[in-house]
Each structure stands twice: as C-alpha cells, then as structure tokens.
Amino acid sequence: MKREKANYLIQSVSHALDILESFTRTEDELGVTELSKRLGLHKNNVFRLLATLVHRGYIEQNSSTENYRLGPKTLQLGSIFIEQRECRRQAHPVLEQLMEATGETAVVAVLRANKVIYMDSVESVRTVRAVSRTGAMLPAHCTAVGKVQLSFLPVAEIERLYPDHQLSPKTTLSLQTRDDLLGSFAAIRDRGYAVENEECDLEVKSIAAPVRDFSKNVIAAVGIIAPASRLSDELLEKSGSITLVRDAAMSLSLKLGYFHGKVNA
C-alpha cells in the first residue's frame, strides 16, 4: 500500500513553515513567546527555528523591538513565482507566432544558477523536428537560451558560477579558459543572440534572444530549436530566423513592461 503523504513530513520543516505562515498583513512582527504559544512549541525550539530562518534571509529581527518579521528572501521567492507565472502566460502566444513564422519548435526558458529551466514550448508541426524541452533542466553554458542569459550577468557572478571553468563533458565548445568563456559571452551580448551548435543533443541546433522586464533586466530567453541541417550558418543568414527570434523576444519583453527607447520631454 502507498503511504499517506503526511507520513513523509519532516516536523522541523513543517514548524519552520508554520512560523512563516504566522505573519499576516495585520501582524507583521511577532516575538518568540507569542510564536511559542501559537505553535505549541518550546521557546528554545522556536528560537532555533528563527535563527535558521534569519540566517537564510527568510526572517529578520527588528533591532528596536527584538521581534521578528518576514525577511527579504520571502519577497524574492514571491517575485520569482509571479514573474514565472506571468512570463509563461504572456509567452505562449509569442511562441505560437514564432513557431508559425519559422516552422521550428519555439521555447522560453529561465536561468537558475548555472542551469536553465524550459518553462514552455510550442512544437513544430514538421515531420522531422526537434522535440519539446518543456520541464527540462539543462546546463546553461551549452544551450542558446542559457548562454544568452549568462552573457548579461555581472562578471563576478559568472566567475562564481564557473569558478574553475568546469564545463559539461557533453559540450562541444572549444573554450579552455574562463577568459574565453567571458569573451564568448561578451560577443553574444554585443550581437543580441546566442547559438547552440549540437552542444546538448547531436544534430540539434538552436538560437535564442534575451527577454527583459520593466526593470530592463534579462529575466528569460526565447528561442527556436531545430535539426542542425535546417539551422546551418548559411541558412540562418538566408531564412531570417535570427531576426524572427529577436523580434519574438522583444515582443515578449514589451508584454512584460519593458520600454526600449527614449521618452520625449
């Protein structure tokens, strides 16, 4: 028989979540004693849980009152949730149009550390096509959607993500040093798009462009994936696929509040 999901609960994690859920719009600060009463836990247990949550940024202590309140990490998580939901909702019609314009599978993905997560896709109707990657998590440095997002990160962040330039053995990139890696990202940033050349899957190629939000930060990437034979360098120049991908990324950016240009006085 299958065990009930409740049997897998970790009590300390559950208690930590209880603490987070104790804060409301009307009670934005609580003390150890009050939390102890509400949760039915010993003060020492509550204090240890709070200390852990403070260390991770989910709770912070008001130095004036010594009470506790939600920390900035909770806002960050909420913002990511809203951003992803809104990005995916707005992206789908853009992907449909991109697939129709190029005839290839269109995708949208977000960067998480040194990986990319494919949030949504619209698969090509062609008999021979690249399959959808929706839900997949792949190394960012060997995917077009990953490389184009990495290229807009600060150098210090790239160095943190790739401290020894340890690239996936699957990649066909000939980069040997971190300077080469940074140089390749600078080139991507300058031209406004990235190319994946059979680096994750043999005979599969992709191109991608960055998606920005109202803050002008790069928050995702839109691209197409296709059999390598249909995205050869020569065909890329003739087909206009690069322009179509960049236009699709800009279209989604505008939907997310990005404004490009100057406001007339």
- pLDDT tens per residue across span 140-199: 988 999 999 999 999 888 888 887 655 544 444 444 566 777 888 999 999 999 999 888
The per-residue pLDDT for range 74-106, each reduced to its tens digit, is 877 776 666 667 788 889 999 999 999 999 999
CATH class held by domain 8-70:
mainly alpha
In this prediction, residue 136 has a pLDDT band, given cuts at 50, 70 and 90, of confident
Token digits of residue 239: 């087909």
Residue ranges covered by each domain of the chain:
8-70, 76-255
Lookup: tokens for 198: 């059979």
d(CA 106, CA 44): 53
> What distance in Å separates the CA atoms of residue 133 and residue 144, rounded to the nearest whole number?
13
Q: What superfamily does domain 76-255 belong to in CATH?
A: GAF domain (3.30.450.40)
**Taking all residues of the chain, what is their mean pLDDT, rounded to a whole number?**
84
Asked whether 48 and 55 are in contact (CB, 8 A), the reply is no
- Which one has a higher pLDDT value, 223 or 27? 223
pLDDT at position 199: 84
In the prediction, which pLDDT does 206 show? 93
CB 220 within 8 A of CB 78: no
pLDDT higher than 80, residue 260: no
